[in-house]
């Protein structure tokens, strides 16, 4: 789960290091080896059909929750905090597939996006409308304290999905809140490739690692 996002983030990080003058021949060789291995795995195995990301798991869990709470008869409102890569993906899926009204919130909002994205300072005002809250920021400390920013008390608990690492939400130990952290989401049952296919993937990874080590030895790294 999330393998494609991780591979992409690594590739962009190495490219950013190179642009910042912090790259090296070692990093270039690593990027080449990783890229070649990922392409082999996608071309030669069925893992390409299992590229489910955190955003797709979050959508599935949100749909299960709304259905169990009987919210599906009306158009639910979901507040998504964090408009990075994962937050944007989740907001788009919730709007298009789950047919929810999505309120997008971010810590910083450019002048050209004030119509579509609300600032974090508006969150206390927006939370009473929320049938669910999804937090996907990259902050080092929690950005949502539910002891201060209160969710409404309903017959059914309000779902709070915290996709941050470290956690982005605090104060969620309340009876009217159902908290789902990143570890909870990743522990949900998923359809995975069988053992034989997984073994094939590991062989390709080991092959890529051997090629990379050989390149390092050739250059006496």
pLDDT at 138: 85
pLDDT at 111: 80
The answer, yes or no, to whether residue 215 has pLDDT greater than 90, is: yes
* pLDDT band with cut points at 50, 70 and 90 for residue 7: confident
Q: What is the mean pLDDT of residues 101-107?
A: 95
38-93 tens-digit pLDDT: 889 878 876 665 556 788 889 989 999 998 887 655 789 999 999 988 899 899 98
> How far is it between the farthest Cα atoms of the chain?
66
Q: What is the mean pLDDT of residues 12-23?
A: 92
Q: Percent of the chain scored above 90 by pLDDT?
A: 57
| Cα→Cα distances 10→14, 16, 20, 202, Å | 6, 10, 15, 19
Q: In angstroms, how far is CA 193 from the centroid of its own chain?
A: 21
CB-based burial of residue 74 (10 Å sphere; 0-12 exposed, 13-18 middle, 19+ buried)? exposed
User: Which tokens go with 157?
Assistant: 């608990």
pLDDT at 56: 81
Q: In angstroms, how far is CA 159 from the centroid of its own chain?
A: 17
What lies within 8 Å, CB to CB, of 87 at 6+ separation is: 80, 81, 104, 106, 134, 136, 137
CA distance 215 to 96: 46
The answer, yes or no, to whether residue 183 has pLDDT greater than 80, is: yes
Q: What is the mean pLDDT of residues 95-101?
A: 90
CA distance 78 to 104: 9
The answer, yes or no, to whether residue 1 has pLDDT greater than 70, is: no
CB neighbours (10 Å) of residue 162?
26
On whether the CB atoms of residues 216 and 29 are closer than 8 A, the answer is yes
Write down the pTM of the prediction.
0.68
20-44 tens-digit pLDDT: 999 999 999 999 999 999 889 878 8
The answer, yes or no, to whether residue 2 has pLDDT greater than 90, is: no
């Amino acid at each position: 789960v999330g393998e494609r996002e991780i591979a992409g983030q690594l590739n962009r990080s190495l490219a950013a290091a190179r642009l910042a003058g912090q790259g090296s021949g070692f990093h270039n060789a690593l990027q080449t080896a990783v890229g070649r291995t990922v392409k082999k795995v996608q071309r030669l195995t069925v893992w390409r059909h299992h590229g489910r990301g955190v955003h797709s798991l979050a959508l599935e869990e949100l749909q299960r929750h709304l259905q169990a709470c009987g919210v599906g008869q009306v158009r639910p409102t979901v507040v998504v905090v964090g408009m990075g890569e994962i937050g944007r993906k989740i907001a788009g899926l919730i709007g298009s597939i789950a047919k929810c009204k999505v309120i997008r919130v971010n810590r910083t909002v450019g002048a050209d996006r004030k119509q579509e994205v609300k600032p974090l300072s508006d969150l206390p005002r927006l939370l009473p409308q929320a049938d669910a809250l999804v937090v996907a920021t990259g902050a080092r400390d929690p950005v949502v304290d539910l002891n201060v920013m209160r969710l409404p008390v309903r017959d059914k608990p309000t779902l709070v999905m915290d996709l941050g690492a470290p956690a982005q939400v605090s104060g969620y130990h309340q009876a009217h809140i159902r908290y789902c952290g990143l570890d909870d989401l990743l522990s949900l049952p998923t359809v995975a490739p069988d053992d034989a296919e997984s073994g094939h993937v590991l062989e390709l990874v080991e092959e890529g690692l051997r090629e990379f080590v050989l390149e390092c030895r050739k250059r006496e790294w």
